[in-house]
Amino acid sequence: SLILGIESSCDETAAAVVRDGYQVLSSCVASQIAKHAVHGGVVPELAAREHLVALNPVVEGALREAGVTMKEIDAIAVTQGPGLIPALLVGLSFAKGLAMGNGKPLIGVNHFIAHIYGAFLDEAHGVLENPATYPLLALVVSGGHTSLMLIERDGKARQLGCTIDDAAGEALDKGAKLLGLGYPGGPIMQKTAEGGDPHKYEFPRPLTGGAGKPLAPENLYNFSFSGIKTALLYHVKHHAGADGKLPAELLQDTVASYQEAVVDVLTRKTLLAAKNFGAKTIVVAGGVACNSVLRERFEALTPKHVQLRLAARKYCTDNAAMVGGLGWHYHRKQAYSPLNIDSFARLPQITQVPFLGE
């Protein structure tokens, strides 16, 4: 079956055609980054208006690239949430219109689960069906989320922990902004850090139970990334020259050390959870999973008996292939959404993933 996926939860307008849940025939992404960069971050109303303009050409592009017509599409899957409501509403309304106009079923999918599913695209069906894959531990690390989710073979899921303040991507974005490096911060920070000394400066590793600060058990798998940004602010103030800015020669080591603190906490907590819950697979997904230092660290530290699945970079940041792929699992159960579904901003409690179980 062919599923058309549509994504508009943040600042990328995306459409994709996916066959039978895994085979990505096309994945088109129109990024609005340039439009938002001048504001130093994503402006929800601006995002909504850009989606309104981009959606039709992006969907047409995805169909054309896949070499299929709307007639051949079996169902339309669309991101329902979490995300920016004005942005979500445009994609959701567009998908409803398309579904109604073409007599196709509609499937509302969860963007957070779609990020996890992105790690399985372009793969044979076997991996998810194989009992040896479970328990599966997923780290979703993006601009809005930093979460550890444990998933069993039958699809039963529980969130082990999440950030109690900023997401890791947010920490990188805000850090870059503070240093005047531009938006989005993640890729810029990675580039700036290249060749720098990641151990030159010691940025905090919150909720890791360091010196004299015992960690509350409920925070064992939680994250906190707002303190590191404050530490960067003090670091800049401490080293500032007459112009109040960080001297250029300290920038590289500063960014490398900052990025290292983020990577260190993410990998340590994930590997601790994997060990304590006997995970057979670790999935790393979401925009920050693009980060080379994070990927290399996971590759270096993941024990041999644990399968590491780093989502392909093109499926880490927002895309619609992960939406169309996930949508197929609803389609095969004919679990369609009514045309009056609403968008949602926050992640609901997840107890079952839709791509496993009956």
User: Which residues would be at the binding site for Fe ion (CB under 5 A)?
Assistant: 142, 318
DSSP string for residues in 221-244:
T-B--HHHHHHHHHHHHHH--TTS
Q: How many residues bind Mg ion (CB under 5 A)?
A: 3
Q: Among Mg ion, ligand ATP, Fe ion, none, what does residue 36 contact (CB within 5–8 Å per kind)?
A: none
Is there a binding annotation on residue 318? Answer: yes
Contacts with Mg ion in 2-21 (CB under 5 A)?
Answer: 10-11
Could you say whether residue 83 binds ligand ATP (CB under 6 A)?
A: yes
Sheet holding 157-162, edge to edge: 157-162, 146-151, 136-141, 281-285, 307-310
Contacts with ligand ATP in 243-262 (CB under 6 A)?
Answer: none
* β-bridge mates for residue 27, sequence order: 16
Instruction: Give the residue with the Cβ less far from ligand ATP, 266 or 279.
Output: 266
CB-based contact 336:105 (threshold 8 Å): yes
DSSP string for residues in 253-276:
HHHHHHHHHHHHHHHHHHHHHHHH
CB-based contact 62:26 (threshold 8 Å): yes
Binds ligand ATP (CB under 6 A): choice among 36, 145, 297, 309: 145
Query: In the block, which residue shows the tokens 């360091």?
Result: 210
What is the x/- site pattern for Mg ion, positions 306-325, by CB under 5 A?
------------x-------
Could you say whether residue 190 binds ligand ATP (CB under 6 A)?
A: yes
Instruction: Give the residue with the Cβ less far from Fe ion, 167 or 188.
Output: 167
Could you say whether residue 184 binds ligand ATP (CB under 6 A)?
A: yes
* β-bridge mates for residue 324, sequence order: none
Q: How many residues bind ligand ATP (CB under 6 A)?
A: 24
Contacts with ligand ATP in 304-323 (CB under 6 A)?
Answer: 317-318
Is there a binding annotation on residue 140? Answer: yes
Give the separation between CA 142 and CA 157, rounded to whole angstroms: 19
Of the candidates 106, 122, 109, 252, which has an alpha carbon nearest to the alpha carbon of residue 193? 252
Instruction: Give the residue with the Cβ less far from Mg ion, 166 or 318.
Output: 318
Is there a binding annotation on residue 58? Answer: no
Instruction: Give the residue with the Cβ less far from Mg ion, 50 or 318.
Output: 318
Is there a binding annotation on residue 36? Answer: no
Summary count for the chain: helices (H), strands (E): 11, 10
Is there a binding annotation on residue 111? Answer: yes
Instruction: Give the residue with the Cβ less far from Mg ion, 21 or 81.
Output: 81
- Amino acid letter, 89: L
Instruction: Give the residue with the Cβ less far from ligand ATP, 66 or 88.
Output: 88
Instruction: Give every CB contact of residue 73 below 8 A, 6+ residues apart in sequence.
Output: 2, 3, 4, 17, 63, 102, 104
Instruction: Give the residue with the Cβ less far from ligand ATP, 10 or 148.
Output: 10
Is there a binding annotation on residue 115? Answer: yes
| Contacts by 218-221, CB closer than 8 A, 24 or more apart | 219/161, 219/164, 220/161, 220/269, 220/272, 221/148, 221/160, 221/161, 221/269, 221/272, 221/273
Could you say whether residue 10 binds ligand ATP (CB under 6 A)?
A: yes
Minimum distance, C-beta of residue 88 to ligand ATP, in the bound complex (Å): 10
CB-based contact 246:236 (threshold 8 Å): yes
Is there a binding annotation on residue 173? Answer: yes
**Residue list for the binding site for substrate:** 140-144, 173, 186, 291
Which residues sit at the interface with ligand ATP, rule CB under 6 A? 9-10, 83, 111, 115, 142-145, 169, 172-173, 184-187, 190, 286-288, 290-291, 317-318
**Residue list for the binding site:** 111, 115, 140-144, 173, 186, 291, 318
